[in-house]
Amino acid sequence: MQPRLFKLALELGAKSVSALTDRVTHLIAENHGGAKYQCALERKIPILLPSWITESHRIWRHGDDVDLAQSIAAHRLPPFSGITLCISGISDIVRRTNINMALTAGGGTYVRDLVRPVRVTHLLCSPEAGVETDKMRYADKFNRAGEASPLIQIVWEEWFWDSLQAGGQMDESRYQARLPPSGFSFHSRLHSASHSATPSNLSLNDSGLGIISNSHDEIDSRRPFKNVVLCATGVLNKHELFKLALELGAKCVRPLTDRVTHLITDSNYGGEKYECALERGIPILLPSWITECHRLWQRGEPFDLAQCALLANLFTMIESEVLKVSCVRPCNPFPGTLSSIRKLVQLS
């Protein structure tokens, strides 16, 4: 299969290599895992299904133009494909619901109970329980008895949120629940947001899935956006949004300067500002972030900027994550693309 994919990619104008060098722009894979896969996650290299090449080649061969951004969105390897996840020790219903929704949107399956026949691949644990749970003991039992194939990965909740943020499955060995938790960077933020506690300031990843929030001590209820500098692109009702944002205390600018803290855009939009925001790690949010915050603020209801930002971009970005729009010539739909195709191994 690999030689055939290489042949099609070459006809589309791409360069193909077997090693994952610094020049590689896309990784082709059917399954998660492996050294190349983990390296691609760390380097923010898009991981795409083989169908990306075959379908693009089909469109190109028929004489139609390939929309590179749209094709990438349609053929990304879902971050949680092949995963059946069960939760242990997480009592907060909001967090459980968020996990379920994000997992399902990312191609995974959520089950409530760990039972025979064993289909669970990952048991997501929280240190809140303080003790070993029954599900953890049963997972160990099923693993020892050979009833789980593959073995159930018993991991801290941090693994899920970090994988979601990275757009793929992080190496589970770093998150084993038998080891002390490593700090719960993303998990602790969500936990704090869902309980209206004081979240720490967050840095963003290149996909725009992260969120930024000031502590509640720093938020002025009269001007909750006082530390926000907004820029917008590809938004039809930009002036109306800016008016709402100004009422919330934000500053609004036209160029994407170094002062900008958030970019507002509609889903699947590209362009110079979008690309620049990705490179700088600036949060890319939907217009609903402003309208929903304004609605809550106008009614005098308390709200958390981090939680509102999460709801405004998380699940949309799962489906259309980090799309880079390029000018595509019909004769060469993959200009400048250097694909590395890892060995395709079907996981049992």
Output the DSSP codes for 42-92: HHT--EE-THHHHHHHHHHHTTPPP-HHHHHHHHB--TTTT-EEEEES---
Sorted by sequence, the CB contacts under 8 Å of residue 80 that are 6+ apart come out as 103, 106, 107, 108, 163, 169
Domain membership of residue 347 (yes or no) is no
Domain membership of residue 145 (yes or no) is yes
Structure tokens at 38: 């983990």
Domain membership of residue 10 (yes or no) is yes
Tokens 């064993």, residue? 118
Same domain as 236, residue 174? no
pLDDT band at residue 303 using 50, 70 and 90 as cut-offs: low
Same domain as 315, residue 227? yes
pLDDT of 208 above 70: no
pLDDT band at residue 87 using 50, 70 and 90 as cut-offs: very high
Domain membership of residue 326 (yes or no) is no
Structure tokens at 193: 């947001």
Domain membership of residue 278 (yes or no) is yes
Domain count for the chain, please give it.
Answer: 3
Q: Residue 51 is part of a domain; what is its CATH number?
A: 3.40.50.10190
> What pLDDT is attached to residue 48?
96
Same domain as 257, residue 219? yes
Structure tokens at 248: 């919330």
Same domain as 285, residue 256? yes
pLDDT digits (tens, 9 = 90+) for 143-174: 999 999 999 999 999 999 999 988 899 999 98
**DSSP code of residue 79:** T
Same domain as 105, residue 52? no
Same domain as 170, residue 252? no
Same domain as 136, residue 155? yes
Q: Which domain holds residue 11?
A: 2-76+332-341
Same domain as 301, residue 203? yes
